[in-house]
Amino acid sequence: MGWSQERLEQVAQTRLNGAKLIVVANREPYIHRYKNGQIEWIRPAGGLTTALDPVMRACGGTWVAHGSGDADKATADANSRLRVPPDDPSYTLRRVWLTPEQEEGYYYGFANSTLWPLCHQVYCKPTFDPSHWEVYKQVNQLFAQAVLEEAEGGPALIFVQDYHFALLPRMLKQVRPDLVIAQFWHIPWPSSEIFRVCPWASELLEGMLGNDLMSFHIQNHCNNFLETVDRTLECRINRENFSVERNSQVTRVRPHPISVDPNLAKEYLGDDWEARAQELRKQWNLENRPLIVGVDRVDYTKGIPERLNAVERFLENHPEWIGQFHFLQLGAPSRTNLPAYRDLTLEVQNIANRVNERFGTEDWKPIIFLNEHHGPEDIFLLYRMSAGCVVSSLHDGMNLVAKEFVTAREDEQGVLVLSEFTGAARELTEANLVNPFDIEQMASGLHACLTMPPEEQRRRMRKMRTQVNDNNIFRWAGKLLSEVGKMVEPSPEDDSDIVLEEEPEEEIKAMLEQHNSIYLFRSGRF
Ligand code: F6P
């Protein structure tokens, strides 16, 4: 049986067994802000909220997040709660208020200047500032307080998201050992050599081992995590079932590749997408030229300069394409308080200008760079009307743009150029896989977007669509809930048809073989 919203609803009911579901993520799914004296709401850019919102719509419960919009207070009640989605409420958003100093030290500081570069191998040196660390601890405590309030009075499953909250699981377990806690780490976990340079590595790991389940996108990140724990803390690692035991707390470590809701493409495209596409072509003077798109937050992990430089190389290699296509880059502004992000925006702008000056004409520009926020209606329209989409992350936990692009292509056309350093590349093997650091390969990928025969596009796209349809966001959440929900309370329906399709033992065996071979090799037992 395939995974759908309905099936996830069923799993949630059975597995949660009456327990509350509380998701904790720094980013809220809906931000309220003032515009021209009116309050409007937007969906923020970024994979986490895109992926989890359909899950919460299916399961209900509470999402605890930083209230970051300037109209957020005005739209929440006295307990900082409101029902969302604003146009069709089905779950509760509990906002946590941070002072500018807390946002600076915890979000811009420790989360995004220490853990973000530490976990991504992109050669941006992490900062290790003790004052950021102090605020990170303080804000984790603040969120712990909010979660404990939301979980009062009964069993609850707490689903913690990401690197903003490494300390939260342990803080919660200390006060409420009965809570079942799972954490999903949306970014890569690096090798132990890299992670262990962090002066607070032990405390971070100690915090994460407060979880009953610690999950990453791919097996490699699980292996790296276990390895890091093994080398940093005193604990028992059970290689039979891939878990860590420390101070009588057992944490299972498992890969769960995140995904998207394939039905959203239809919803966002609507019936009038062709008319809107025509308008857009007129508005940007695109005429009927083929379009290649990039859709990202402007972040140094995404490889945006690499892909724009590749546009230049492509034009050098294939001058016959001068004047014949456009590369359109949507770049949502992100973390702009940080110099590395501001510098990157300038760099991208400069490359776009340089390439446009070199190859552009009065009425044609090869690169269009739109450095602004766009909603999913516009983004899906671009996916649908383009010849290809380029995802050139230098390192990425998953990358959901790649999967979204595939869901938008009901016509089974379109070429996906995908960095081999994304989690998505493990699943979307029919994409045109590239090393983003290899400019010639990137230029060939762009060429493929414009020249791949329709039959070949169809063959590849069909396989990728099957992959994303089968392994959708409901399966991701369903499998996670199935795994962790069992710990909430033994449920009488445990043996119903809702159990996982694949025998987990098989997966564990495979992990084990891979992991044990790493160990045996290192200890020189071969
Ligand atoms: O994927 C990692 C992540 O931090 C997610 O939490 C989020 O979806 C995305 O990057 C966007 O980041 P931010 O919430 O900092 O804008």
pLDDT digits 0-9 by tens, 36-60: 999 999 999 888 998 999 999 999 9
What is residue 438's three-state secondary structure? Answer: coil
Asked whether the predicted pLDDT for residue 523 surpasses 70, the reply is no
For residue 510, the model assigns a pLDDT of 52
Q: Say which residue, 231 or 517, is predicted with more confidence.
A: 231
Q: What is the DSSP string of 484-505?
A: HHTTTS--GGGGSTTS-SS-HH
Per-residue pLDDT at 397 exceeds 90: yes
Q: Would you say residue 199 has pLDDT above 60?
A: yes
Within 60-176, residue ranges assigned H as helices are 72-75, 100-102, 116-119, 130-150, 168-175
Q: What is the DSSP string of 317-347?
A: H-GGGTTS-EEEEEEE---TTSHHHHHHHHH
pLDDT of 515 higher than 70: no
Average pLDDT over residues 303-315: 98
Residue nearest to atom 9 of ligand 1 (CA): 46
Residue 489: band (very low, low, confident or very high) from pLDDT cuts 50, 70, 90: low
For a pocket test of ligand 1, which of 27, 30, 43 has the largest count of ligand atoms closer than 8 A to its C-beta?
27
pLDDT digit string, tens, across residues 257-290: 999 999 999 999 999 999 999 999 999 899 999 9
- Answer yes or no: is pLDDT of 526 > 90: no
Predicted confidence at residue 504, as pLDDT, reads 47
Task: Indicate the length of the chain as a whole number.
Answer: 526
**Half-sphere exposure of residue 336: CA atoms within 13 angstroms, side-chain side:** 11
Which pTM does this prediction carry? 0.91
The better pLDDT of the pair 92, 516 is held by 92
263-469 has which fold? Rossmann fold (3.40.50)
Atom of ligand 1 nearest to the CA of 49: 8
Q: What is the pLDDT of residue 465?
A: 98
| Any ligand 1 atom below 6 A from CB of 212 | no
At the topology level of CATH, where does 5-259+475-515 sit?
Rossmann fold (3.40.50)
Q: What pLDDT is stored for residue 12 in this prediction?
A: 86
**Domain range list for the chain:** 5-259+475-515, 263-469
Average of per-residue pLDDT across 458-474? 98
Q: Is 66 in the pocket of ligand 1 (CB under 6 A)?
A: no
Whether residue 520 is predicted with pLDDT greater than 50 in this model: the reply is no
Residue with tokens 């743009």: 401
Whether the CB of 187 sits within 6 Å of ligand 1: yes
- Ligand 1 atom at minimal distance to the Cα of residue 44: 16
CA–CA dist 120, 195 (Å, integer): 10
Mean pLDDT, rounded, of the chain: 92
Q: Is 5-259+475-515's fold the same as 263-469's?
A: yes
The CB of 186 under 6 Å from ligand 1? The reply is yes
Q: Ligand 1 center to residue 283 CA distance, Å?
A: 31
Residue 80, pLDDT above cutoff 90: yes
Query: Is residue 221 lining ligand 1, measured as CB closer than 6 Å?
Result: no
Q: Which two tokens stand for residue 289?
A: 């030229």
Report pLDDT digits (tens) over 408-446. Answer: 999 999 999 999 999 999 999 999 999 999 999 999 999
Ligand 1: centre distance to CA 116 (Å): 10
Q: Does the beta carbon of 217 sit less than 6 angstroms from any atom of ligand 1? A: no
Confidence at residue 36, expressed as pLDDT on a 0 to 100 scale = 95
Decide if pLDDT at 228 tops 90: yes
Phi, psi of 296 (to 5 degrees): -150, 160
Q: Tell me the C-alpha to C-alpha distance, in Å, between residue 311 and each of 71, 384, 401.
A: 40, 21, 20
46 lines ligand 1 (CB under 6 A): yes
pLDDT score for 506 = 56
Write out pLDDT tens, residues 346-384: 999 999 999 999 999 999 999 999 999 999 999 999 999
Cβ(47) – ligand 1 distance below 6 Å: yes
Ligand 1 within 6 A of CB of 158:
no
Tell the residue number behind the tokens 């110099």, with chain if given.
339
